[in-house]
Amino acid sequence: MAAERPGVTPIQLELDPLELPLKHTFTIARSSESVAHTVVVRLRWNGLEGLGESAPIARYDESVDSVGAGLRARDLGDDPYALERLLDGLAPAQKCGLDIALHDLIGKDVARPLWRLLGLDPARTPHTSFTIGIAGIDETLEKVREVGTHPIIKVKLGKGAELETLEAIRSIYTGTIRVDANEGWTAHQAVQLLGEMARFEIEFCEQPIPAGAPEQLRWIRERSPIPLVTDEDSKDASDLPALRGCVDGINVKLVKCGGIRGALEMIHTARALGLRIMLGCMVESQILTTAAAHLSPLVDWADLDGPFLTARDPFAGITYDRGKIVLPDGSGLGVREAGAVSLS
Ligand code: MG
């Protein structure tokens, strides 16, 4: 038995479902939520604890329960470096939670931050956008005022009143605006709306139409003054070749593609295909957002605003300097339980 070898202990798993109350009810084109449900993955091995998290996406038929079932059924053995074996065959949200916890554990084992293990330059992090969910005009303006001087916002659209909403926002906000329709338009609506909203100086539009129609995206792109980025259409690296020439960029989320390894695969594939890269998040705790932030020196755009959307977060890691992502120095993810003293 592996556990009998000197100095080697089995990896122990604990799963903690996490409820994150939101500052504002968060509405996008297809759903609305006031509490986000994620699951914290804790791995204990050789006196260390690796922290991971998954925020399963209902659109892809994954849930906190399905993540728990998949991970509990896994034989984790005694070697956290055996990433290929440990992650093989898991569904993306399951893989995401375990992959992040393993990377945290490995970073703690070698006493190095994740960005160092990946060979990245922490000075090259992008600025993040701050997301404004769908609401009436008055509430939307109130949220934009709360954003203050933050340099980039991402406005959720796709339920009507798009031009009125953007006109009102533009009247009080001079920073960069990107928009996300979350599959809310038809191709014809997209061309018409994007043409009209160009006057509000929109940086790009995320996922204008339902996923699964790259040639329609190409048709829109040929007629749109605003660049297009996919999110629902780009779950993992295998989705990207079909998008070449159809869009300008893709949104990478750790929960869609299975964590750090899946995200690196997507990022490198996108670069090879000439696609620009955005790094996004779900409504989630700082474990997941910080994990994504460690990859952010590799990308063009970041939408890592999970910590701004929650009313309280039991974890702390990523920080921001006027919107620019600041990576923590601690080993692994550098995430600590909020309020605790960091010993790393
Ligand atoms: Mg999106």
195 and 295 in a single domain? The answer is yes
Token readout for 188 is 């014809």
Q: What is the pLDDT of residue 28?
A: 85
Q: How far away, in angstroms, is 251 Cα from ligand 1 center?
A: 7
Q: How far away, in angstroms, is 335 Cα from ligand 1 center?
A: 25
Q: How far away, in angstroms, is 283 Cα from ligand 1 center?
A: 12
- For the stretch 159-171, pLDDT in tens is 899 999 999 999 9
Q: How far away, in angstroms, is 205 Cα from ligand 1 center?
A: 9
Token readout for 13 is 């798993």
140 and 231 in a single domain? The answer is yes
Average pLDDT over residues 183-191: 97
Q: How far away, in angstroms, is 231 Cα from ligand 1 center?
A: 5
181 and 322 in a single domain? The answer is yes
- Indicate the length of the chain as a whole number: 344
* Domain final residue pick, 85, 111, 137: 111
List the domain range (segments joined by +) for residue 247.
Answer: 117-337
Residue 122 forms part of a structural domain: yes
Nearest to 277 by CA among 126, 130, 122: 126
Whether residue 5 has pLDDT greater than 80: no
Q: What is the pLDDT of residue 341?
A: 44
Whether residue 344 has pLDDT greater than 80: no
Binned at pLDDT 50, 70 and 90, residue 173 comes out as very high
66 and 164 in a single domain? The answer is no
Note whether 322 and 175 are within 8 A (CB): no
Higher per-residue confidence, 2 vs 14: 14
Average pLDDT, the chain: 94
Q: How far away, in angstroms, is 258 Cα from ligand 1 center?
A: 17
Q: How far away, in angstroms, is 182 Cα from ligand 1 center?
A: 6
Q: How far away, in angstroms, is 257 Cα from ligand 1 center?
A: 14
- For the stretch 222-246, pLDDT in tens is 999 999 999 999 999 999 999 999 9
Query: What's the number of domains the chain is made of?
Result: 2
Measured from the Cβ of residue 63, the count of other Cβ atoms closer than 10 Å reads 15
Higher per-residue confidence, 333 vs 339: 333
Q: How far away, in angstroms, is 282 Cα from ligand 1 center?
A: 9
Q: How far away, in angstroms, is 175 Cα from ligand 1 center?
A: 20
Assign 3-class secondary structure to 34-97: EEEEEEEEEEEECCEEEEEEECCCHHHCCCHHHHHHHHHCCCCCCCCCCHHHHHCCCCHHHHHH
C-alpha–C-alpha distance, residues 306 and 169, integer Å: 21
Q: Where are the alpha helices (DSSP H) in the chain?
A: 64-72, 83-87, 92-109, 114-117, 137-147, 162-172, 187-197, 214-223, 254-257, 260-272, 286-293, 306-309
Note whether 61 and 229 are within 8 A (CB): no
